[in-house]
Chains A and B, each alone.
Chain A
Amino acid sequence: DGGITQSPKYLFRKEGQNVTLSCEQNLNHDAMYWYRQDPGQGLRLIYYSQIVNDFQKGDIAEGYSVSREKKESFPLTVTSAQKNPTAFYLCASSPTGSRYNSPLHFGNGTRLTVT
Protein backbone atom coordinates (compact mmCIF):
# COMPACT_ATOMS: atom_id res chain seq x y z
CA ASP A 1 0.00 0.00 0.00
CA GLY A 2 1.20 3.52 -0.79
CA GLY A 3 1.53 5.96 2.03
CA ILE A 4 3.66 7.97 4.38
CA THR A 5 5.71 6.29 7.08
CA GLN A 6 6.86 8.21 10.12
CA SER A 7 9.19 6.66 12.61
CA PRO A 8 9.42 6.19 15.45
CA LYS A 9 5.89 6.58 16.79
CA TYR A 10 7.17 7.69 20.21
CA LEU A 11 10.48 9.39 20.90
CA PHE A 12 12.00 10.48 24.19
CA ARG A 13 15.00 12.77 24.50
CA LYS A 14 16.83 14.72 27.13
CA GLU A 15 16.87 18.49 26.93
CA GLY A 16 19.84 19.79 24.95
CA GLN A 17 20.00 16.87 22.53
CA ASN A 18 19.23 17.12 18.83
CA VAL A 19 16.81 14.51 17.46
CA THR A 20 15.85 13.54 13.92
CA LEU A 21 12.38 12.41 12.92
CA SER A 22 12.02 10.23 9.87
CA CYS A 23 9.45 10.64 7.09
CA GLU A 24 9.32 8.43 4.00
CA GLN A 25 6.69 8.36 1.25
CA ASN A 26 6.10 5.97 -1.64
CA LEU A 27 3.32 7.98 -3.27
CA ASN A 28 5.67 9.64 -5.79
CA HIS A 29 4.55 13.04 -4.50
CA ASP A 30 6.61 16.12 -5.27
CA ALA A 31 5.80 18.19 -2.19
CA MET A 32 6.39 17.27 1.44
CA TYR A 33 5.58 19.10 4.65
CA TRP A 34 6.26 19.05 8.37
CA TYR A 35 3.62 20.22 10.83
CA ARG A 36 3.58 20.49 14.58
CA GLN A 37 0.43 19.88 16.63
CA ASP A 38 0.05 20.82 20.30
CA PRO A 39 -2.85 19.59 22.46
CA GLY A 40 -6.16 21.18 21.48
CA GLN A 41 -4.57 23.10 18.65
CA GLY A 42 -4.46 22.91 14.91
CA LEU A 43 -1.46 22.20 12.72
CA ARG A 44 1.35 24.70 12.38
CA LEU A 45 3.70 24.52 9.40
CA ILE A 46 7.40 24.07 10.20
CA TYR A 47 9.03 23.49 6.80
CA TYR A 48 7.94 22.42 3.35
CA SER A 49 9.63 21.26 0.17
CA GLN A 50 8.24 21.36 -3.35
CA ILE A 51 11.15 19.62 -5.04
CA VAL A 52 14.32 17.70 -4.22
CA ASN A 53 17.17 19.84 -2.84
CA ASP A 54 14.88 22.77 -2.13
CA PHE A 55 12.79 23.69 0.92
CA GLN A 56 11.17 26.73 2.52
CA LYS A 57 10.54 27.85 6.08
CA GLY A 58 7.00 27.66 7.35
CA ASP A 59 5.45 29.67 10.15
CA ILE A 60 7.47 28.20 13.03
CA ALA A 61 10.84 27.12 11.57
CA GLU A 62 13.05 28.40 14.40
CA GLY A 63 14.88 25.56 16.14
CA TYR A 64 14.23 23.07 13.34
CA SER A 65 16.14 21.96 10.24
CA VAL A 66 15.31 19.73 7.27
CA SER A 67 16.88 18.19 4.20
CA ARG A 68 15.42 16.89 0.95
CA GLU A 69 18.10 14.81 -0.75
CA LYS A 70 15.64 12.25 -2.14
CA LYS A 71 12.09 12.64 -3.40
CA GLU A 72 10.89 9.94 -0.99
CA SER A 73 12.47 11.30 2.19
CA PHE A 74 12.11 14.51 4.22
CA PRO A 75 13.72 14.15 7.68
CA LEU A 76 13.18 16.79 10.36
CA THR A 77 15.81 17.60 12.99
CA VAL A 78 14.63 19.17 16.22
CA THR A 79 17.62 21.06 17.58
CA SER A 80 18.45 22.11 21.11
CA ALA A 81 17.55 25.67 20.06
CA GLN A 82 13.85 24.76 19.93
CA LYS A 83 12.41 26.11 23.19
CA ASN A 84 9.36 23.84 23.50
CA PRO A 85 10.05 20.72 21.45
CA THR A 86 7.56 18.39 23.13
CA ALA A 87 4.73 17.95 20.62
CA PHE A 88 3.09 15.70 18.04
CA TYR A 89 4.89 15.99 14.68
CA LEU A 90 3.11 15.22 11.43
CA CYS A 91 4.63 14.71 8.01
CA ALA A 92 2.52 15.15 4.89
CA SER A 93 2.83 15.09 1.13
CA SER A 94 0.85 16.28 -1.86
CA PRO A 95 1.01 15.16 -5.48
CA THR A 96 1.50 18.31 -7.51
CA GLY A 97 3.28 20.81 -5.34
CA SER A 98 2.09 23.40 -2.85
CA ARG A 99 0.88 25.88 -5.44
CA TYR A 100 -1.93 23.56 -6.46
CA ASN A 101 -5.09 22.66 -4.64
CA SER A 102 -4.35 19.04 -3.79
CA PRO A 103 -5.26 17.64 -0.40
CA LEU A 104 -2.48 16.61 1.93
CA HIS A 105 -1.73 12.97 2.72
CA PHE A 106 -0.51 12.54 6.28
CA GLY A 107 1.56 10.02 8.15
CA ASN A 108 0.50 8.87 11.61
CA GLY A 109 2.87 11.15 13.42
CA THR A 110 5.74 11.01 15.90
CA ARG A 111 5.09 12.03 19.48
CA LEU A 112 8.26 13.64 20.83
CA THR A 113 8.77 14.13 24.55
CA VAL A 114 11.76 16.11 25.78
CA THR A 115 12.54 16.16 29.50
Chain B
Amino acid sequence: EDQVTQSPEALRLQEGESSSLNCSYTVSGLRGLFWYRQDPGKGPEFLFTLYSAGEEKEKERLKATLTKKESFLHITAPKPEDSATYLCAVHNTNAGKSTFGDGTTLTVKP
Protein backbone atom coordinates (compact mmCIF):
# COMPACT_ATOMS: atom_id res chain seq x y z
CA GLU B 1 0.00 0.00 0.00
CA ASP B 2 1.25 3.45 -0.92
CA GLN B 3 2.26 5.65 2.01
CA VAL B 4 3.18 9.31 2.28
CA THR B 5 4.38 10.81 5.56
CA GLN B 6 5.00 14.52 6.02
CA SER B 7 6.93 16.16 8.82
CA PRO B 8 6.70 18.22 10.84
CA GLU B 9 2.93 18.52 11.25
CA ALA B 10 3.30 22.22 12.01
CA LEU B 11 6.17 24.67 11.62
CA ARG B 12 6.38 28.20 12.95
CA LEU B 13 9.08 30.47 11.56
CA GLN B 14 10.07 34.08 11.90
CA GLU B 15 10.12 36.06 8.69
CA GLY B 16 13.45 35.42 6.99
CA GLU B 17 14.16 32.19 8.89
CA SER B 18 14.81 29.46 6.31
CA SER B 19 13.77 25.84 6.88
CA SER B 20 12.69 22.61 5.15
CA LEU B 21 9.60 20.42 5.04
CA ASN B 22 9.96 16.68 4.59
CA CYS B 23 7.90 14.17 2.62
CA SER B 24 8.87 10.50 2.82
CA TYR B 25 7.10 7.97 0.63
CA THR B 26 6.74 4.34 -0.35
CA VAL B 27 4.97 3.61 -3.60
CA SER B 28 5.14 1.04 -6.36
CA GLY B 29 5.30 2.47 -9.84
CA LEU B 30 6.05 6.09 -8.95
CA ARG B 31 5.20 8.45 -11.75
CA GLY B 32 5.58 11.79 -10.12
CA LEU B 33 5.78 13.41 -6.70
CA PHE B 34 3.68 16.54 -6.38
CA TRP B 35 3.78 19.48 -3.98
CA TYR B 36 0.67 21.59 -3.43
CA ARG B 37 -0.09 24.67 -1.35
CA GLN B 38 -3.46 24.93 0.41
CA ASP B 39 -4.82 28.11 1.99
CA PRO B 40 -7.58 27.85 4.64
CA GLY B 41 -10.97 27.08 3.14
CA LYS B 42 -9.56 26.70 -0.37
CA GLY B 43 -8.59 23.85 -2.66
CA PRO B 44 -4.92 22.89 -3.05
CA GLU B 45 -2.90 24.75 -5.64
CA PHE B 46 -0.21 22.95 -7.62
CA LEU B 47 3.41 23.97 -6.99
CA PHE B 48 5.85 21.36 -8.38
CA THR B 49 6.14 17.93 -9.97
CA LEU B 50 9.34 15.90 -9.52
CA TYR B 51 9.86 12.75 -11.56
CA SER B 52 13.27 11.28 -10.73
CA ALA B 53 15.83 11.21 -7.92
CA GLY B 54 18.17 14.18 -8.06
CA GLU B 55 15.66 16.45 -9.71
CA GLU B 56 15.13 19.96 -8.33
CA LYS B 57 12.52 22.63 -9.07
CA GLU B 58 12.39 26.24 -7.87
CA LYS B 59 9.73 28.91 -7.64
CA GLU B 60 10.41 32.18 -5.88
CA ARG B 61 11.39 31.28 -2.28
CA LEU B 62 10.54 27.59 -2.67
CA LYS B 63 12.78 24.79 -3.86
CA ALA B 64 11.73 21.14 -4.09
CA THR B 65 14.16 18.22 -4.23
CA LEU B 66 13.68 14.47 -4.64
CA THR B 67 15.55 11.34 -3.57
CA LYS B 68 14.48 7.71 -3.93
CA LYS B 69 12.70 7.77 -0.59
CA GLU B 70 11.86 11.37 0.23
CA SER B 71 11.34 14.89 -0.99
CA PHE B 72 12.15 18.19 0.67
CA LEU B 73 10.51 21.55 0.22
CA HIS B 74 13.06 24.19 1.16
CA ILE B 75 11.79 27.64 2.05
CA THR B 76 14.37 30.41 1.86
CA ALA B 77 13.79 33.68 3.72
CA PRO B 78 10.04 33.10 4.07
CA LYS B 79 7.49 35.88 4.24
CA PRO B 80 4.13 35.91 6.07
CA GLU B 81 2.34 35.30 2.76
CA ASP B 82 4.04 31.90 2.57
CA SER B 83 1.89 30.78 5.51
CA ALA B 84 -0.24 27.85 4.32
CA THR B 85 -0.54 24.09 4.48
CA TYR B 86 1.84 22.31 2.12
CA LEU B 87 0.73 18.92 0.82
CA CYS B 88 2.83 16.23 -0.79
CA ALA B 89 1.36 13.55 -3.06
CA VAL B 90 2.69 10.60 -5.04
CA HIS B 91 1.14 9.22 -8.20
CA ASN B 92 1.04 5.45 -8.57
CA THR B 93 0.85 4.48 -12.21
CA ASN B 94 -0.17 0.90 -11.41
CA ALA B 95 -3.13 1.99 -9.29
CA GLY B 96 -3.94 5.01 -11.43
CA LYS B 97 -4.33 7.39 -8.52
CA SER B 98 -2.51 9.77 -6.19
CA THR B 99 -1.94 9.38 -2.45
CA PHE B 100 -1.60 12.46 -0.26
CA GLY B 101 0.27 13.09 2.97
CA ASP B 102 -1.41 14.86 5.90
CA GLY B 103 0.42 18.11 5.17
CA THR B 104 2.64 20.55 7.04
CA THR B 105 1.05 23.75 8.25
CA LEU B 106 3.54 26.58 7.98
CA THR B 107 3.11 29.83 9.90
CA VAL B 108 5.51 32.69 9.21
CA LYS B 109 5.47 35.52 11.75
CA PRO B 110 6.50 39.05 10.77
Contact = CB atoms under 8 A, between A and B. Distances in A.
A105 B46 contact: yes
A98 B92 CA distance: 9
A27 interface: no
24 contacts: A33-B97, A40-B102, A41-B102, A41-B103, A42-B4, A42-B87, A42-B101, A42-B102, A44-B100, A45-B97, A45-B98, A48-B96, A48-B97, A50-B96, A92-B43, A99-B93, A100-B31, A101-B51, A101-B91, A103-B34, A103-B49, A107-B43, A109-B41, A109-B43
Contacts of A74: none
A108 to B, nearest CB: 5
Given A106-B45, A107-B43, A43 B100 contact: yes
A65 B17 CA distance: 46
B97 A98 contact: yes
Interface in A17-35: 33, 35
Contacts of A92: 43
Nearest to A107: B43
Interface residues of B, number: 27
Contacts of A104: 34, 36, 44, 46, 89, 98
Interface residues of A, number: 29
B101 A101 contact: no
B102 A101 contact: no
A66 interface: no
B93 to A, nearest CB: 6
B46 A101 contact: no
Interface in B5-48: 6, 9, 31-32, 34, 36, 41-46
Interface in B56-110: 87, 89, 91, 93, 96-103
A56 B97 CA distance: 10
Q: 6 closest Cβ contacts across the A-B interface?
A: A106-B43, A101-B32, A42-B100, A103-B46, A98-B96, A42-B102
